[in-house]
Amino acid sequence: MNVIVTDQGFAPDDWTDGFVSLDDAANDVVALDVTSDTDPDDLAERLGGVKMVRVDFPSFADGRGFTIARTLRLKGYKGRLRAKGHVLADQYAMARRSGFDEVEIDHALAARQPEDQWLARANWQDHDYQARLRG
């Protein structure tokens, strides 16, 4: 089981309903697993009863997942958004600002980047360039 990162730190995964890939999704899907090359505009139209969308980050250098999250939030998606995969602690604030609620990492990454490194970025609302400009 992987580690879930939130603004409160590391936690076990509490999601028990599983995930379905976008290709296998039917009308009554509860949670979707999407790849980083998914078109967010097409995805937004298929989220009727979906309670969670988990977006894969195949590499820490692949930022397309941030665009997916931001687009879904701008189009009104209110469900849970989870980034999964190669997201680094340094990217946590960006993940939260783009619309993700949480990040799912494996135990190896959690060992290399312990909880305190993620919590150092948990004040993401206070430390962005817009807040500095307003301050």
Mean pLDDT of 89-97: 93
Number of neighbouring beta carbons within 10 Å of residue 60: 13
- Full domain range(s) for residue 80: 3-134
Q: The domain that contains 120 carries what CATH number?
A: 3.20.20.70
How far is it, in rounded angstroms, from Cα 71 to Cα 58? Answer: 19
Tokens for 45, please give them. 């139209």
Question: Is 33:22 a contact under the CB 8 Å cutoff?
Answer: yes
Mean confidence (pLDDT) of the chain: 89
pTM over 0.85? The answer is yes
pLDDT at 49: 85
CA-to-CA dists, residue 77 to 52, 61, 99, 117, angstroms: 10, 25, 10, 29
pLDDT at 22: 80
Measured distance between the N- and C-terminal CA atoms of the chain, rounded to whole angstroms = 41
- As for how many domains the chain has, the answer is 1
pLDDT digits (tens, 9 = 90+) for 53-73: 999 999 989 999 999 999 999
pLDDT at 135: 62
Tokens for 106, please give them. 């494996």
